[in-house]
Amino acid sequence: MSTDKICVIIGASHAGVNLAFSLRKEGWEGAIHLFDSDPVLPYHRPPLSKAYLTSNDPIEQNALKAASTYKNEHIDLHLGVKVIAIDNTIRTVSLDNGTTQKYDNLVFATGASPIIPPIPGIETATNTYPLRTAADVLHIKNTINTSSKKRVVIIGAGYIGLETAASLKKLDASVTVLEREERILQRVTSPTMSQFFLDLHTSNDVSVFTSKNVVTIESLKENDIISNIVKCSDGTLYPADVIIVGVGVRVNTELAASIGVEIENGIKVTETTATNIDRVYAIGDCSFHHNPRYGRFIRLESVQNAVDQAKVTAAAICEKETKYDTVPWFWSDQYDIKLQMVGLSDGYDDIVIRHEEESESNNKFSVWYFKGSELLAVDAVNNAKAYVIGTKFIKKPTLIDKIKLGDSAIALKPANLLL
Amino acid sequence: MAKITFITPDNESVTLEATSGSVMELAVQNGVKGIDGDCGGVCSCATCHVHVAEKDFPLVGEPSEIEADMLELEDEVSEFSRLCCQIKVSDAIDGITLKVVEE
Ligand SMILES: Cc1cc2nc3c(=O)[nH]c(=O)nc-3n(C[C@H](O)[C@H](O)[C@H](O)COP(=O)(O)OP(=O)(O)OC[C@H]3O[C@@H](n4cnc5c(N)ncnc54)[C@H](O)[C@@H]3O)c2cc1C
Ligand code: FES
């Protein structure tokens, strides 16, 4: 393989970093330039709302790779540098430090940014943060540690909002979650799981309110301490020393759009992660890609998707036969609950809920989503066995006896569940 | 303090020392090939699979239930398999050898 070729990767997080290392694994001998506007050595994002939020470990403990491994693999990592423009006719990116960098292959691993909804007062509200970066978490931790009342309002009950609620409880905060929809996790899971998580948070002393539309945030000064009053459309008021905004993300597509890359619900790519422009690719949270197993275009926000697409892009750039064809999986950790999800449940018409007999609490169960006889997805709560069996059944479509599946007296083993 | 030897998929032997953290973290911080640790060490991804040398297995011990279940996802699972994000570094495991299992 030619050594004078250059691959430029915009975004050094799960997708971009994994791509850089996968390129070397695939035998790419050319230069690799990896840019990120975040100055911190690339880190795992999932712990930000989980263990990292409650521990005193330095962020380096969560690094995706050690600094030395970039050097060893001859990967040029440029941190704190933003790509501000691209000229694809001369194949060059411009950086905010005034320099430029040429490329042969260009990869968008630009991910997504938190949405800050246009609520009057949100821009000037004190101690109000999204939760996407290591810097966000440091702000949140510092504020909680120095606040005497530690009243937190989380706007948005998605996984990140709920994980943050669980973590902040550990820091002795009093936590209120405000969700605009009728149920929590509405966009991402079934009513069964929403109810489970609502009960879980309520029993852990988190106040969760649904159908709450935040209309203004006002500032309040008491004894020289400034806090916020979060006001909802139904007139309810919630005082907050800290506000965490977790209402979803906006895909970072502007740069790609500027050179004529096709954008739909993200950067549209083929099964080899290629865009409509020659030798320009997109991976991770920013990619709108086809999933062959489910037969439709999707955009995912998961580590699995970022890592697996990176491997495909590396192979494609090295001109090897490749295709992105995976069953999506995801996890979420809240309190002592480990949720593992595999597959995509959208479009299910039948559900089997299985509680394990040995479990004393109701906290070990699995939800199996079917369309007719076809298993689409499994949500497993404290039940890795269900997750693993579900993964196998989804990867290799199998006819499942739903009655046996739902019968906790029958051991959870693939052979016991066949029709 | 524990010395841990990794045998990578290309049969290189790397010996590392640590006093705390998990074995997966030690491997990632030192760029041991074949240990990715994609989930950051929460037993969700199975990209930190190792075979513990038979003589060392009693020092490391059996996997927990969830870990054993997750190992079922792996093709190369053996009775000496562990997900090394679930192995804590301590004096008790000083001198062990782990063979990294390639995906
Ligand atoms: C708090 C939190 C918890 C999560 N928990 C889980 C979980 O439990 N399980 C799971 O599977 N997933 C989880 N996720 C999702 C997961 O982290 C994302 O799917 C993953 O980070 C996507 O990686 P990415 O590289 O595609 O994008 P991102 O992580 O968004 O990274 C994109 C990078 O590109 C950089 N960038 C963008 N534009 C430019 C530019 N012009 N110039 C330079 N740099 C640029 C950004 O600074 C950023 O670092 C979580 C995410 C968050 C925020
Ligand atoms: S690092 Fe993911 S299972 Fe060990």
Token pair, residue A310, equals 């990176």
CA distance A46 to A285: 13
Name residues whose C-beta falls within 8 Å of residue A138's C-beta, 6 or more positions apart in sequence.
none
**How much is the pLDDT for B75?**
87
Is the CB of B39 inside 8 Å of chain A's CB atoms?
Answer: yes
pLDDT of residue B103: 72
Residue A147, judged by CB atoms within 10 A of its CB (0-12, 13-18, 19+), counts as middle
Distance to chain B for A336, nearest Cα, Å: 12
> Diameter of chain A by CA atoms?
69
Ligand 1 midpoint to CA A268 (Å): 18
pLDDT digits (tens, 9 = 90+) for A221-236: 888 888 999 999 999 9
pLDDT tens by residue, A53-86: 999 989 988 999 999 999 999 999 999 999 999 9
CATH T-level topology, domain B2-100: Ubiquitin-like (UB roll) (3.10.20)
Residue A91 and residue A31: Cα distance in Å, rounded? 15
CA pseudo-torsion sign A229, A166, A196, A376:
positive
Interface test with B, best of A332, A388, A396 (most B CBs within 10 A): A388
Mean pLDDT computed over B80-102: 96
In ligand 1, which atom is closest to the CA atom of A303?
Answer: 11
pLDDT tens digits, one per residue of A263-284: 999 999 999 999 999 999 999 9
Closest ligand 1 atom to the C-alpha of A286?
A: 26
Report pLDDT digits (tens) over A152-167.
Answer: 999 999 999 999 999 9
Q: Which of B31, B43, B66 sits opposite A72 (nearest CB)?
A: B31
Q: Which residue has the tokens 């052979």?
A: A415
Angle at A107 between CA A321 and CA A76, to 5 degrees: 105
Of B28, B39, B73, the CB nearest to A331: B39
A219 Cβ under 8 Å from any chain B Cβ: no
In Å, how far is A6's CA from the nearest CA of chain B? Answer: 23
Between A91 and B103, residue with greater pLDDT:
A91
* Residue of chain A whose Cα is closest to the Cα of B30: A66
pLDDT at A98: 97
C-alpha neighbours within 13 Å on the C-beta side of residue A46: 21
Give the nearest chain A residue to B75 (CA atoms). Answer: A392
- Rounded to two decimals, the pTM is 0.96
Average confidence (pLDDT) over A392-419: 94
Position A339: which residue type? Answer: L
For the record, the structure tokens of A173 come out as 């905060």
pLDDT digit string, tens, across residues B9-19: 999 999 999 99
Structure tokens at A37: 């506007």
Residues of A in contact with B31 (CB under 8 A): 65-66, 68-69, 72
Say whether residue A307 is in contact with chain B using an 8 A CB cutoff. Answer: yes
User: CB–CB of A385 and B69 under 8 A?
Assistant: yes
Cβ-based neighbours of A225, under 8 Å, separated by 6 or more? A148
Domain boundaries, chain B: 2-100
Give which of A331, A247, A309 is closest to A111, Cα–Cα.
A309
Is B15 an interface residue toward A (CB < 8 Å)?
no
A288 contacts A266 by C-beta, under 8 angstroms = yes
The residue type at B48: C
Give the pLDDT score at A3.
82
3-state secondary structure A39-83: CCCCECCHHHHCHHHHCCCCHHHHECCCHHHHHHCCEEEEECCCE
Nearest-CB residue to B28 (from A66, A304, A387): A66
Q: Tell whether the model's pLDDT for residue A362 goes beyond 70.
A: no
Contact of A66 with chain B, judged by CB distance below 8 Å, is answered with: yes
Ligand 2 centroid vs A307 CA: distance in angstroms? 14
Q: How many Å apart are CA A251 and CA A257, to the nearest integer?
A: 12
In order of their start, the domains of chain A are: 6-43+63-113+251-317 (3.50.50.60), 128-247 (3.50.50.60), 336-416 (3.30.390.30)
ipTM of the complex: 0.94
CB nearest to A66's CB, from B30, B45, B72: B30
pLDDT of amino acid A361: 64
Say yes or no: A56 contacts chain B, CB-CB below 8 A.
Answer: no
Whether residue A69 and residue B39 make contact (CB cut-off 8 A), yes or no, is no
Ligand 1 pocket check for A207: Cβ under 6 Å = no
Q: What is the DSSP string of A134-189?
A: HHHHHHHHHHHHH-SS-EEEEE--SHHHHHHHHHHHHTT-EEEEE-SSSSTTTTTS
Q: Closest residue (by CA) to atom 5 of ligand 1? A: A46
What pLDDT was estimated at residue A225? 86
